């Protein structure tokens, strides 16, 4: 299948799923759409980061949520915020762009810290170590109430992100009858997605990108040819972690609050599902995967109502997550290369 | 400058009590084709792993081109000019033939993240040179017509040629070939031996592990025989052919 | 500290049994089963469904009441169901995957999908409210130096008994020996005439039954929740890693140590006010072991990098 054909299929799937949102929802479909696009954009960024780890370098990272969390907490704690049970207010803060930059660097450093010991481990052990590290992060954040607000989290933070919102969005939001805040998050996120895609396209066929892929293929050969496989893996880990950090920051801006329970292993597995759905190793894969994924689960609420007479919040959530599980299994069995993945470059070792 | 490109002293390695390699002294002359033969399990590949830094020795000294490389990491040893191939070919399956070679040819500086991010004018010149060298080497091993194919699509023999191309483009000082003729048909064997001779003429030293005894006898300047981890004989092909110890330890098993 | 030691023994037994189950499964099938926690939970939840009285306030699914069977019967049924479930997993999922040459990473991701699916199935089935078994409250007594309820003590005794029986089984019975043979080398086992498919099936059954038992213990000591498996999964990994890959005895010891360490760490000075982070200590130990001594305490050196 050619690239063009794959892109067309992906595009039609997106059009179909967005169309179905408008079909199935009489009330406020655009609001649902913008909500979906905000989350899809954020998760796409995260999946792009994970793709660098797994798709390009072959690293099984089950701790991705922590990278998102480190970015989010670093940035949010650096702008004016109110944390903890008392909601104790921190008036001081850095300018937004500086806070974001430091957040990105913090994620990269966290990636380095985890990576240094872990990167030498074999696949399944790397998986266990990364998920354990992610949980340690979560437990420590939960524990350090003075700093992070513990289980109560950062209840609110200053509007600096919305302050830089371009004026034209306000008119647009009125016209479309959607929340302007979320419209801005969606716009910003997708702008970032496009920038990242350009960045990655440049890197993919570059010597550096090629080196990463060689590491994925055969580390021994890489070493035998004089290249430092460990350092290459670390660089990949740091870059992907940093990108994940960006998505975590945007996630916090989207919710308007920061809770440690946002960064649980289930989040990591969501990103994995999106990456697989979109096509492991494909640069644009996360875009298709994310939009389809979010369209899919936003429509499962309808499904839950069909199954259960008086579907309560829990049962709806339950059905939604069950379907995610089914999706992952089905993908792995039926179409492990996802939408955009090339069968020849299939990384998920399925024959 | 010493005549020896590689000098081994008191090299020892055991795996869980079993002695794998035990070599008191072994030297390899420059610019020669030296073959390492011996029955299965004699420790040949372990020896390769030890001197290329893929396995850590228990004790011993390894000197390469007058430099002590005893504790150096594998990729650093490779950068010094000792490049190896593997018994089971390690081509990058999910990358094209082109990419396999370009990866090897690209310098470390060129590989850097920053350099890959920023495209400068000097870069396109580098790219061009890289491509020319790549095509040269591809032609030499007769794989130019497969340059856009994925490496996994290659036949076993073609993969061996690709591995050779990958190592030769680095212009190493010494090439360590681990069974370059294994599973290769006679015609291709001839081609590969021809390539090896070309390499030597260009000043490269060759050290190879091989089971194909007739090829070894034909092409080697010097033969080292390993059995149970130690050197039991070395010399020219005639000397080895006549050596009683070798005959009983190995040649008795005849050409495979 | 002594208080926590008693708690540590209990948690230790639970993780121990679960680790043995996981270690056995990994040893024989080489599958890192992320759904292991859900099998643990299955035992606990089924036991709750069977044993709780219809008059209790627990509702399953939309309007199904628990069955009110005797606790002993409920235990037996639950463990049997876990065994059957394990068999179904092998027959319907993992054997076909094996036939089709699915690699380790793919299978790993599939177990994650299964885990997510099951966990939320339990959520729908048993709701998010914690449940307890219909057992009477007991007072703590002195057992040697520990403060435990008689039931706690029984759990420890039964737990140890189960592991002893398992140890004898794996060492001396024909099936046990075949399991070990497959664990050491599947190819060799096949060549020597062992039906590895059948042994793998037995392994799944045994592992699931042990996991279910651990879950029931956990339900008795703490409570039954839809996500109890996931909460304990990483601790079980830690126990298995600590004790050593490929040795059941190692998993036993490793699981025990993790359980004790987790509970006792709460009593340490630097943990003052940070009790919730006790799990983090066990996880840190696991990471440390994987880096420094990947074969664990008792394991054989396997290629880990």
Q: Does residue A124 sit at the C interface (CB-CB below 8 Å)?
A: yes
Identify the pLDDT of residue A350: 53
pLDDT band at residue A107 under the 50/70/90 scheme? very high
User: Minimal CA–CA distance to B193: which of B175, B202, B181?
Assistant: B181
Statement: residue C63 has pLDDT above 90: no
Partners of residue A57 in chain B, C-beta under 8 Å:
none
Residue C67 covered by a domain: yes
| Stretch A144-167: mean pLDDT | 85
Q: How many domains in chain C?
A: 1
What is the rounded distance in angstroms from the CA atom of residue C223 to the CA atom of residue C227? 11
Highest mean pLDDT among B48-57, B122-131, C122-131: B48-57
In C, minimum Cα distance to A335 occurs at C106
Identify the pLDDT of residue C274: 74
Identify the pLDDT of residue B162: 95
pLDDT band at residue A313 under the 50/70/90 scheme? confident
CB B226 within 8 A of CB B42: yes
- Asked if B78 lies within 8 A of A217 by C-beta distance, the reply is no
Of A202, A211, A220, the CB nearest to B117: A202
> Nearest CA of chain A to the CA of B170: how many Å?
8
Neighbours of C43 (CB within 10 A): 30
Identify the pLDDT of residue B1: 62
Which of A181-195, B98-112, C27-41, C74-88 is predicted least confidently? B98-112
What is the rounded distance in angstroms from the CA atom of residue B217 to the CA atom of residue C115? 60
pLDDT band at residue C57 under the 50/70/90 scheme? confident
Instruction: For chain C, give the longest Cα–Cα distance.
Output: 58
Query: Domains in chain B, start-ordered, CATH in brackets?
Result: 4-91+172-253 (3.40.50.300), 94-153 (no CATH)
pTM of structure? 0.90
CB A350 within 8 A of CB C102: yes
Of A207, A221, A346, the CB nearest to B111: A207
Identify the pLDDT of residue B256: 43
Residue with tokens 């903890």: A84
Residue C30's domain is classified under what CATH number? 1.10.3470
Chain C stretch 220-279, residues whose beta carbon is closer than 8 A to a beta carbon of chain A? 230, 234, 237-238, 241, 274, 276-277, 279
C2 by Cβ neighbours in 10 Å (0-12 / 13-18 / 19+) ranks as exposed
What is the rounded distance in angstroms from the CA atom of residue A184 to the CA atom of residue A182? 5
Q: Give A252 or A343, the one with higher predicted confidence.
A: A252
What is the rounded distance in angstroms from the CA atom of residue B188 to the CA atom of residue B158? 9
pLDDT digits (tens, 9 = 90+) for C113-172: 999 999 999 998 888 888 888 888 888 888 777 878 888 889 999 999 999 999 999 999
The answer for residues whose C-beta is within 8 angstroms of residue A45's C-beta and 6 or more apart is: A189, A192, A193, A196, A243, A244, A246, A247, A250, A286
Partners of residue A120 in chain C, C-beta under 8 Å:
305
| Stretch A216-227: mean pLDDT | 94
Which of A165-179, A196-210, B113-127, C204-218 is predicted least confidently? B113-127
What is the rounded distance in angstroms from the CA atom of residue A83 to the CA atom of residue A86? 7
Which of B78-87, B205-214, B232-241, C260-269 is predicted least confidently? C260-269
Which of A51-55, A72-76, C275-279 is predicted least confidently? C275-279
pLDDT band at residue A72 under the 50/70/90 scheme? very high
What tokens does B175 get?
């090439």
| Whole-complex ipTM | 0.90
Q: According to the 3-state scheme, what is the secondary structure of C95-149? A: HHHHHCCCCHHHHHHHHHHHHHHHHHHHHHHHCCCCECCCCCCCCCEEECCEEEC
- Asked if A124 lies within 8 A of C104 by C-beta distance, the reply is yes
Statement: residue B175 has pLDDT above 50: yes
What tokens does A2 get?
């050619």
B29 by Cβ neighbours in 10 Å (0-12 / 13-18 / 19+) ranks as middle
In A, minimum Cα distance to B76 occurs at A226
Residues recorded for chain A: 351
Count of CB contacts below 8 A, A vs C?
A: 147
Cα–Cα separations (whole angstroms), residue A288 to A60, A75, A299? 21, 28, 17
What tokens does A258 get?
């920061």
- β B33-37/B205-209 pair status: parallel
Mean pLDDT of chain C: 88
Q: Does residue A128 sit at the C interface (CB-CB below 8 Å)?
A: yes
In C, minimum Cα distance to A125 occurs at C304
Q: Give A311 or C173, the one with higher predicted confidence.
A: C173
In the three-class reduction of DSSP (H, G, I as helix; E, B as strand; rest coil), residue A273 is classed as helix
Statement: residue A219 has pLDDT above 50: yes
Q: Which of A124, A144, A152, A308 to mutate to test the interface with C (most CBs of C within 10 A)?
A: A124
What tokens does B15 get?
């795996």
- Asked if A226 lies within 8 A of B83 by C-beta distance, the reply is yes
Of A209, A222, A344, the CB nearest to B116: A209
**Domain boundaries defined on chain A:** 28-264
Of C102, C116, C286, the CB nearest to A324: C116
Helix ranges (H only) for chain C are 2-29, 36-51, 71-88, 95-99, 104-126, 150-172, 174-184, 186-191, 196-221, 228-243, 248-265, 278-292
| Stretch C233-253: mean pLDDT | 89
| Stretch B99-112: mean pLDDT | 89
Q: Does residue A147 sit at the C interface (CB-CB below 8 Å)?
A: no
Statement: residue A224 has pLDDT above 60: yes
What is the rounded distance in angstroms from the CA atom of residue B210 to the CA atom of residue B220? 11
Residues recorded for chain C: 305
Residue with tokens 């929802």: A25
What is the rounded distance in angstroms from the CA atom of residue A262 to the CA atom of residue A108? 20
Identify the pLDDT of residue B228: 86
In A, minimum Cα distance to B79 occurs at A226
What is the rounded distance in angstroms from the CA atom of residue A78 to the CA atom of residue A99? 6
In A, minimum Cα distance to C118 occurs at A322
Q: Which of A224, A228, A243, A350 to mutate to test the interface with B (most CBs of B within 10 A)?
A: A224
Domain that holds residue C104: 2-136+150-292
- β B33-37/B82-84 pair status: unpaired
Q: What percent of chain A has pLDDT over 90?
A: 54
Identify the pLDDT of residue C277: 82
Which of A158-167, A181-190, B58-67, C88-97 is predicted least confidently? A158-167
User: Minimal CA–CA distance to C248: which of C54, C13, C22?
Assistant: C22
- Asked if A322 lies within 8 A of C305 by C-beta distance, the reply is no
- Asked if C303 lies within 8 A of A269 by C-beta distance, the reply is no
Which of A205-214, B33-42, C50-59 is predicted least confidently? C50-59
- Asked if A206 lies within 8 A of B92 by C-beta distance, the reply is no
Neighbours of C222 (CB within 10 A): 17
User: Minimal CA–CA distance to C123: which of A303, A263, A319?
Assistant: A319
Half-sphere exposure at residue B33, Cβ-oriented, CA atoms within 13 angstroms: 20
Residue with tokens 């310098």: B107
Statement: residue C210 has pLDDT above 90: yes
Which of A53-57, A249-253, B237-241, C3-7 is predicted least confidently? C3-7
Chains in contact with A, where contact means 3 or more Cβ–Cβ distances below 8 Å, are B, C
- Asked if C114 lies within 8 A of A329 by C-beta distance, the reply is yes
What is the rounded distance in angstroms from the CA atom of residue C223 to the CA atom of residue A99? 43
Statement: residue C305 has pLDDT above 70: no
Residue C305 covered by a domain: no
pLDDT digits (tens, 9 = 90+) for C131-144: 888 888 888 888 77
| Stretch A145-153: mean pLDDT | 84
In A, minimum Cα distance to B168 occurs at A225
Of C100, C234, C304, the CB nearest to A351: C100
Cα–Cα separations (whole angstroms), residue C260 to A290, B99, C13, C97, C254? 43, 53, 9, 37, 10
pLDDT digits (tens, 9 = 90+) for C285-301: 889 888 888 888 887 76
What is the rounded distance in angstroms from the CA atom of residue C72 to the CA atom of residue B239? 81
CB C89 within 8 A of CB C206: no
- Asked if A202 lies within 8 A of B54 by C-beta distance, the reply is no
Identify the pLDDT of residue A27: 76
Cα–Cα separations (whole angstroms), residue C104 to A61, B146, B229, C109, C242? 15, 31, 35, 9, 22
Residue with tokens 């018994």: B87
Statement: residue A303 has pLDDT above 80: no
In the three-class reduction of DSSP (H, G, I as helix; E, B as strand; rest coil), residue B7 is classed as strand
Statement: residue A12 has pLDDT above 60: yes
Please report which helix (H) or strand (E) contains residue B35, including its range.
strand B33-37
What is the rounded distance in angstroms from the CA atom of residue A180 to the CA atom of residue A163? 12
| Stretch A58-79: mean pLDDT | 94
Residue A28 DSSP one-character state? -
What is the rounded distance in angstroms from the CA atom of residue C258 to the CA atom of residue C279? 9
pLDDT band at residue A351 under the 50/70/90 scheme? very low
Q: Which of B98, B114, B116, B170 to mutate to test the interface with A (most CBs of A within 10 A)?
A: B116
Statement: residue A19 has pLDDT above 50: yes
């Amino acid at each position: 299948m050619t690239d063009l054909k794959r892109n067309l299929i992906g595009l039609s799937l997106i059009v179909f799923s967005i169309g179905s949102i408008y079909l199935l929802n009489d009330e406020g479909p655009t609001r649902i759409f913008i909500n979906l696009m905000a989350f899809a954009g954020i998760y796409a960024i995260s999946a792009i980061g994970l793709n660098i780890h797994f798709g390009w370098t072959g690293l099984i990272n089950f701790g991705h949520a922590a990278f998102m969390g480190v970015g989010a907490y670093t940035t949010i704690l650096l702008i004016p915020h109110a944390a903890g049970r008392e909601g104790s207010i921190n008036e001081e803060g850095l300018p937004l762009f500086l806070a974001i930059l430091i957040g990105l660097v913090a994620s990269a450093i966290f990636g380095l810290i985890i990576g240094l010991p872990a990167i030498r481990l074999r696949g399944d052990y790397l998986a266990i170590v990364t998920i354990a590290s992610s949980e340690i992060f979560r437990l420590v954040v939960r524990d350090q109430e003075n700093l992070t607000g513990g289980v109560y989290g950062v209840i609110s933070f200053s509007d600096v992100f919305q302050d830089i919102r371009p004026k034209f969005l306000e008119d647009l939001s009125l016209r479309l009858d959607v929340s302007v805040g979320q419209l801005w998050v969606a716009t910003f996120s997708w702008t970032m997605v496009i920038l990242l895609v350009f960045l990655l396209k440049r890197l993919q066929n570059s010597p550096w990108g090629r080196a990463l892929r060689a590491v994925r293929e055969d580390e021994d050969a890489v070493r035998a040819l004089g290249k430092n496989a460990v350092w290459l893996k670390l660089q990949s880990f740091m870059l992907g972690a940093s990108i994940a950090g960006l998505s975590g920051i945007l996630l916090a801006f989207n919710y308007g609050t920061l809770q440690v329970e946002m960064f649980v292993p289930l989040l990591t597995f969501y990103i994995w599902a999106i990456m697989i759905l979109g096509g492991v190793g494909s640069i644009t894969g996360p875009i298709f995967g994310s939009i389809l994924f979010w369209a899919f689960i936003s429509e499962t609420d309808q499904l839950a109502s069909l199954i259960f007479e008086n579907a309560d919040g829990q049962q709806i959530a339950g059905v939604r997550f069950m379907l995610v599980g089914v999706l992952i299994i089905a993908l792995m069995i039926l179409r492990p290369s996802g939408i955009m993945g090339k069968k020849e470059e299939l990384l998920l070792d399925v024959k | 400058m010493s005549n020896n490109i590689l000098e081994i002293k008191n090299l020892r390695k055991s795996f869980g009590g079993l002695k794998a390699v035990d070599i008191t002294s072994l030297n390899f002359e420059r610019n020669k084709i030296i073959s390492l033969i011996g029955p299965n399990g004699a420790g040949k590949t372990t020896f390769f792993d030890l001197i290329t830094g893929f396995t850590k020795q228990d004790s011993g000294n390894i000197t390469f081109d007058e430099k002590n490389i005893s504790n150096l990491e594998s990729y650093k040893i490779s950068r010094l000019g000792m490049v190896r191939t593997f018994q089971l070919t390690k081509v990058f399956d999910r990358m094209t033939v082109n990419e396999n070679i370009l990866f090897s040819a690209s310098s470390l500086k060129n590989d850097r993240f920053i350099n890959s991010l920023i495209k400068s004018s000097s870069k396109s010149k580098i790219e061009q040179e890289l491509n020319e060298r790549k095509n040269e080497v591809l032609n030499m091993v007769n794989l130019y017509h497969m340059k856009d194919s994925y490496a996994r699509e290659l036949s076993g023999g073609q993969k061996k040629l690709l591995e050779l191309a990958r190592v030769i483009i680095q212009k190493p000082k010494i090439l360590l070939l681990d069974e370059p003729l294994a599973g290769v048909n006679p015609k291709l064997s001839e081609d590969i031996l021809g390539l090896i001779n070309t390499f030597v003429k260009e000043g490269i030293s060759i050290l190879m592990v091989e089971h194909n005894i007739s090829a070894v006898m034909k092409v080697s300047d010097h033969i080292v025989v390993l059995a149970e981890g130690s050197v039991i004989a070395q010399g020219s092909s005639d000397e080895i052919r006549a050596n009683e110890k070798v005959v009983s330890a190995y040649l008795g098993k005849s050409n495979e | 500290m002594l208080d926590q030691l008693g708690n540590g023994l209990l948690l230790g037994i639970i993780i121990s049994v679960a680790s043995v189950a996981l270690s056995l499964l990994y040893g024989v099938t080489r599958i890192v089963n992320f759904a292991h926690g859900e099998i643990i939970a299955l035992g606990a939840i089924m036991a709750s469904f069977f044993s709780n009285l219809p008059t209790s306030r627990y509702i399953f699914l939309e309007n199904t009441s628990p069955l009110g069977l005797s606790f002993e019967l409920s235990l037996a049924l639950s463990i049997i169901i876990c065994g059957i479930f394990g068999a179904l997993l092998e027959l319907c999922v993992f054997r076909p995957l094996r036939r089709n040459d699915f690699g380790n990473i793919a299978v790993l991701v599939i177990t994650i999908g299964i885990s997510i699916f099951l966990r939320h199935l339990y959520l729908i089935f048993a709701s998010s409210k914690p449940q307890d078994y219909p057992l009477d409250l007991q007072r703590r007594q002195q057992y040697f130096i520990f403060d435990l309820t008689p039931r706690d003590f029984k759990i420890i005794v039964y737990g140890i008994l189960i592991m002893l029986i398992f140890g004898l089984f794996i060492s001396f019975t024909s099936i046990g020996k075949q399991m070990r043979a497959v664990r050491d080398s599947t190819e060799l086992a096949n060549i020597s005439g062992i039906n590895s498919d059948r042994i793998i099936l037995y392994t799944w059954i045994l592992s699931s039954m042990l996991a279910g038992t651990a879950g029931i213990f956990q339900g008795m000591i703490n409570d039954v929740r839809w996500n109890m498996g996931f909460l304990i999964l990483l601790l079980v990994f830690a126990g298995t890693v600590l004790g050593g890959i490929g040795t059941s005895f190692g998993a036993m010891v490793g699981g025990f140590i993790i359980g004790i360490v987790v509970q006792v760490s709460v009593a340490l000075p630097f943990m003052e006010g940070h009790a919730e982070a006790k799990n983090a200590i066990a996880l840190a130990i696991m990471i440390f072991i994987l880096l420094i001594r990947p074969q664990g305490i008792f394991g054989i050196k396997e290629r880990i990098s």
